[in-house]
A = this chain, B = another copy of it.
């Protein structure tokens, strides 16, 4: 990493913080693909190559974005004492944050956040399950499995939304476009259960929040049952 304030020379025209702020603004509004060095430069009012004075490349921009957002779902400093409530809140909060920053899921799925905020978040997450009689390794496995579930669930959730957003169609139009294909699939008779899902989903089943909570609670149930001393 490069120093934030230089010793000599003219004062920088902007800061890394402003750069990340601009990047977040663009990505939140138009998706991750809208981010390019040229775009960020015009957004910030500077030359394209000037950005490379502040950042080694595009990858570092994304690292900065991730770490900035990581602050948003930083768990509280000290655990409440109820590990289950804490883990659940962590999951719900993570999902909420990823919904607010839809590009996030695509990134965190592939790249672990090793920035200061990311490490702090991990540390506090581990603290939630400390003192339950688990080894450090088991603690990692517990926290990791919850995070894996959240990331996987939200990624799938946002995948569909992203696909829709890219085509520029609204929900109605998009479903209308998919309908004939789904119809042919159902008509083949080869996918009986899929067909049941399609026909019964008319009366809107579980809403997404509920479904997310369902799997999460099953996971937490299983973790609770496996603790050395049940609490």
Contacts and interface: CB of A to CB of B under 8 A. Distances in A.
Interface of A: 105-106, 109-112, 114, 116, 119-120, 122-123, 126-127, 130, 135-142, 144-145, 147-153, 155-156, 158-160, 162-163, 181, 185, 190-194, 196-197, 200, 205-206, 211, 214-223, 225-226
Nearest to A163: B111
Main secondary structure of the interface of A (DSSP, over half): helix
A217 B135 CA distance: 18
Contacts of A159: 109-112
A217 B223 CA distance: 9
Contacts of A191: 119-120, 122-123
Contacts of A156: 109, 112, 144, 147-148, 151
The interface centre, meaning the residue of A122, A148, A149, A159 with most chain B CB atoms within 10 A of its CB, is A148
A36 to B, nearest CB: 16
Contacts of A116: 185
A61 to B, nearest CB: 16
Given A148-B149, A218-B219, A222-B221, A155 B110 contact: yes
